[in-house]
Structure 1
Amino acid sequence: MNKPADQSPDIQGEGNYEATRRYDKATTDFVQSGKVDQAARDARPQSEAEADEMRRAEQEGKAHAKGEDAALRKGASK
C-alpha cells in the first residue's frame, strides 16, 4: 500500500512517536523537579465562586460520560 506523499514517516496512525517521547520526557522531568505540589496548590480555585464553577464544569463533563472506568475505583484489581 502506498503512503500519501504528505504523510511524515513519524506519523503512525493517530500517533506521533517522537511527540509522545517528548511529552513523556517533559512530564517525567516536571515530576522529578519537585514542583508538582506547588503547581497543585497554584491550581486551586481562588474563590468560592471559582470552586462552584469548577464543580459545575465537572458535573457537565460527567453528564456526557458513558460511565466511570471500573478500574479507577479504589481496590479494583486489574
Structure 2
Amino acid sequence: MSKPQDPKDPDIQGEGNYDATRRYDKAATDFVKSGKVEQAARDARPKNEAEAEALRKAEQEGKSHAKGEDPALRKGS
C-alpha cells in the first residue's frame, strides 16, 4: 500500500510539484514584465508559407482529438 504524498516533499512531480509551479509562475511573470513578449511573438512567427501550413495542419490534428471548445474561452466576448 502506498503512503499519501506530502505536498512539501521536493520529489513530488506533476500536478503535485508546488515548488515547480511557483518557479514557473515567477518565471512567466518575470518574462512578461521584461518587455520581451512582443519580440518573442515576432520571433515565433512562421518563417515561410510551408511552415505556416504545417502549423495549421498540426492545429487541426490537435483539434480533431478535442472534446470541444472550453466554454470559458467565450466569456466576455
Please give the TM-score of this superposition, normalised by the length of structure 2: 0.81
Q: Which string of whole-angstrom CA distances, capped at 9 and with x for unpartnered residues, describes residues 1-53 of structure 1? A: 9737xxx7243884201111100110000000000000000000000000000
TM-score (norm 1): 0.80
> Which runs of at least 4 in structure 1 moved beyond 4 Å after TM superposition?
none
- What is the alpha-carbon distance in structure 1 between the residues aligned to residue 33 and residue 44 of structure 2? 19
Write out aligned runs for 1:5-44 (5 A): 9-10=9-10, 11=12, 14-44=15-45
Task: Give the direction of change, closer, same or farther, for the CA distance of 1:3–1:12 in structure 2 (3 Å limit).
Answer: farther
Distance 2:46 2:20 in 1: 31
Aligned-partner Cα distance in 1 for 2:61–2:14? 31
Number of residues of Structure 1 aligned to a counterpart in Structure 2: 73
Aligned-pair Cα RMSD in Å: 2.5
Report which of the two has the higher share of strand: 1
The structure with the greater share of residues assigned to helix is 2
Correspondence for 2:63: 62
Contiguous gaps of at least 5 residues in structure 2? none
